[in-house]
């Protein structure tokens, strides 16, 4: 049985799709996808020897060596363009996920669905999705072991549709807010995790602002101004 976070990612995967799980670690998701019959085979990759070995061991124990192909290597570099149409990248920093997408442009060009779960820097990741022409079709905030995770389901789209998704927030000077918390999440005002996340971030930034010295150099002044803009975007949404 998968954790709620991995279960939501699995639920977004189309039946019969060609999946790559980047940073698979224990390979729990690929094993579940094949065992549940959602897909016939999966490629599971990890860049670190230890997790790669763990994945291989678990796949062997599940007797799925012929359907879960475990590969050692970084990001999307372990597959050929067209070999997969769906990519899962979960449990890494948003900056790392954005770099993986940047470095794998040739593979990404043939990918239809992206299922992502950044541990942080979700704003940086959503900016990367806009740059690569992916529109967000669903988002969830899922609680697991006392922590709330952002889960993003994005599909390749046109530049026009990608821009349209953020236009409402751009018009209200809330582009940073929309990237950080998600345009769909923010449209679900009744969703308690979204409000809690925005409130927690507001308190975090207010704390930083309170500690920054008023009389300081140019860099501090710029930082104060940036935080004040973030706070204003959050307050206007709250
Ligand atoms: N995806 C699983 C999950 O969400 O439960 C495991 C996440 S685990 C915290 C992160 C894994 O990503 C580690 O096993 C790490 O070795 C791997 N990783 C980090 N950077 C990577 C990269 N550039 N390419 C492939 N794997 C990477």
Atom of ligand 1 nearest to the CA of 24: 1
Give the pTM. 0.96
Other Cβ atoms closer than 10 A to 221: 13
| Contact criterion met (CB below 8 Å) for 134 and 182 | no
Atom of ligand 1 nearest to the CA of 75: 24
Ligand 1: which of 20, 24, 25, 77 to mutate, judged by most atoms within 8 Å of the beta carbon? 25
Q: How many CA atoms lie within 13 A of 23 on its CB side?
A: 16
Atom of ligand 1 nearest to the CA of 89: 1
Rama region for 143: left / alpha / beta (φ>0; ψ in -120 to 50; rest):
beta
- Give the residue whose CA is nearest to atom 14 of ligand 1: 25
Q: Which residues contact 202 (CB under 8 A, 6 or more apart)?
A: 231, 234, 235, 238
Ligand 1 centre to CA of 97 (Å) is 10
Distance separating alpha carbons of residues 46 and 44, to the nearest angstrom: 7
3-state secondary structure at position 87: strand
| Contact criterion met (CB below 8 Å) for 76 and 47 | no
Helix (H) or strand (E) holding 180: helix 175-181
Tokens representing 51 are 């997790």
Ligand 1: which of 92, 98, 144, 149 to mutate, judged by most atoms within 8 Å of the beta carbon? 92
Domains of the chain: 4-157 (3.40.50.150), 160-238 (no CATH)
Ligand 1 centre to CA of 137 (Å) is 24
- Give the residue whose CA is nearest to atom 18 of ligand 1: 23
DSSP state of 83: S
- Give the residue whose CA is nearest to atom 26 of ligand 1: 23
Ligand 1 centre to CA of 6 (Å) is 13
Ligand 1 centre to CA of 56 (Å) is 14
Ligand 1 centre to CA of 210 (Å) is 36
Within the chain, which residues score under 70 in pLDDT?
none
Q: How many CA atoms lie within 13 A of 77 on its CB side?
A: 10
Q: What is the pLDDT of residue 220?
A: 85
Other Cβ atoms closer than 10 A to 69: 18
Name every protein residue with a CB atom under 6 angstroms from any ligand 1 atom.
6, 22-25, 45-48, 51, 74-75, 90-92, 96, 100
| Predicted complex ipTM | 0.99
- Give the residue whose CA is nearest to atom 16 of ligand 1: 48
């Amino acid at each position: 049985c998968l954790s709620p976070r991995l279960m939501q990612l699995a639920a977004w995967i189309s039946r019969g799709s060609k999946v790559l799980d980047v940073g698979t670690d224990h390979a729990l998701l690929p094993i579940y996808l094949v065992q549940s019959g959602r897909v016939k085979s999966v490629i599971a990759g990890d860049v670190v020897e230890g997790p790669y070995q763990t994945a291989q061991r678990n796949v062997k124990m599940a007797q799925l060596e012929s359907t879960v192909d475990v590969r050692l290597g970084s990001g999307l570099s372990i597959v050929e363009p067209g070999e997969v149409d769906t990519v899962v990248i979960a449990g890494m920093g948003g900056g790392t996920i954005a770099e993986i997408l940047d470095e794998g442009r040739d593979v990404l060009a043939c990918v239809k669905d992206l299922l992502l779960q950044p541990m942080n820097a979700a704003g940086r990741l959503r900016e990367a999705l806009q740059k690569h022409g992916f529109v967000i079709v669903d988002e969830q905030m899922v609680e697991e072991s006392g922590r709330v995770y952002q889960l993003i389901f994005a599909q390749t789209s046109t530049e026009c549709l990608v821009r349209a998704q953020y236009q409402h927030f751009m018009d209200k000077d809330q582009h940073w807010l929309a990237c950080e918390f998600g345009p769909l999440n923010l449209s679900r005002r009744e969703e308690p995790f979204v409000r809690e996340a925005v409130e927690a971030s507001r308190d975090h930034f207010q704390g930083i602002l309170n500690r920054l010295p008023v009389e300081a150099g140019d860099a501090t002044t710029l930082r104060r101004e940036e935080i004040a803009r973030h706070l204003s975007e959050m307050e206007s949404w709250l």
